[in-house]
């Protein structure tokens, strides 16, 4: 079962619809008890980092998410669900994250480039991955974000995009993958990531 976590941050329907192209074995979990026995978890999200962490805490999601990842369970984080994996964020103050990946989430600087970063951008992959099979280096994906993570170690970085300077937009560790872009909104390349995730986790 692939389980999409509903913690009150963003519309999950587009993610579920993308998964349903490849499997009907998917559900939305609105409380912690519903993720018991899940082979794969997906943490999407739109909105503010601090509010998202409060929702994860109040819903009792934090320990189950950490335990799932630590046990080798499949995990996909999308957009805000990617940023939450890091240690902290400077969005609207200073907020602690899940600290699964050491690093911090910072804001794009004001300058010549428009902020937020919104639209299609090429991604350069740093190595091969089971989650990126069939996707060409330099494939384009859809972004919309003002903040981005800076991992402490480059070892977790799977892909980088450039917006003023290169930034980590895909991370991978074991059976965990997370993307700053929205694969469910990124046409064939994004759907291929979802297909690979579904196939690997079944």
Task: Establish how many alpha carbons lie within 13 A of residue 143's alpha carbon, considering only the half-sphere containing its beta carbon.
Answer: 26
Catalytic one among 68, 117, 145, 182? Answer: 182
CA-nearest of 76, 67, 183 to 123 is: 183
Instruction: Point out the catalytic residue in the list 91, 172, 184, 195.
Output: 184
Is-catalytic flag, 169?
no
- Active-site residue 162, yes or no? no
3-state SS string for 41-95: EEECCCCCHHHHHHHHHHCCCHHHHHHHHHCCCEEEEECHHHHCCEEEECCCCCE
Q: Which of 22, 156, 192, 4 is nearest to 81 (CA)?
A: 4
Looking from the CA of 22 toward its CB, the CA atoms found within 13 Å total 19
From 68, 79, 145, 169, the catalytic residue = 79
In angstroms, rounded to a whole number, what is the distance separating the alpha carbons of residues 177 and 151?
A: 14
Cα dihedral across residues 67, 130, 172, 192: positive or negative: negative
| 182 counts as catalytic | yes
Q: What are phi and psi of 156, to 5 degrees?
A: -85, -15
Report the catalytic residues: 79, 182, 184
């Amino acid at each position: 079962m692939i389980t999409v976590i509903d913690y009150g941050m963003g519309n999950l329907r587009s993610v579920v619809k993308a998964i349903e192209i490849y499997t009907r074995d998917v559900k939305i979990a609105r409380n912690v008890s519903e993720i018991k026995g899940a082979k794969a978890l997906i943490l999407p999200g739109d909105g503010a980092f601090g509010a998202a962490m409060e929702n994860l805490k109040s819903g009792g999601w934090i320990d189950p998410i950490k335990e799932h990842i630590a046990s080798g369970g499949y995990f996909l984080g999308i957009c805000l669900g990617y940023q939450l994996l890091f240690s902290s964020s400077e969005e609207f103050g200073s907020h602690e994250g899940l600290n699964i990946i050491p690093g911090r989430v910072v804001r794009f600087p004001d300058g010549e480039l428009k902020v937020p970063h919104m639209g299609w951008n090429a991604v350069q992959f740093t190595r091969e991955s089971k989650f990126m099979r069939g996707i060409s280096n330099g494939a384009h994906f859809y972004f919309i974000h003002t903040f981005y993570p800076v991992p402490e170690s480059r070892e977790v970085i799977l892909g980088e995009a450039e917006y003023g300077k290169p930034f980590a937009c895909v991370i991978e560790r074991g059976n965990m993958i997370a993307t700053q872009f929205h694969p469910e909104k990124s046409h064939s390349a994004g759907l291929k990531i979802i297909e690979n995730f579904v196939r690997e986790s079944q």
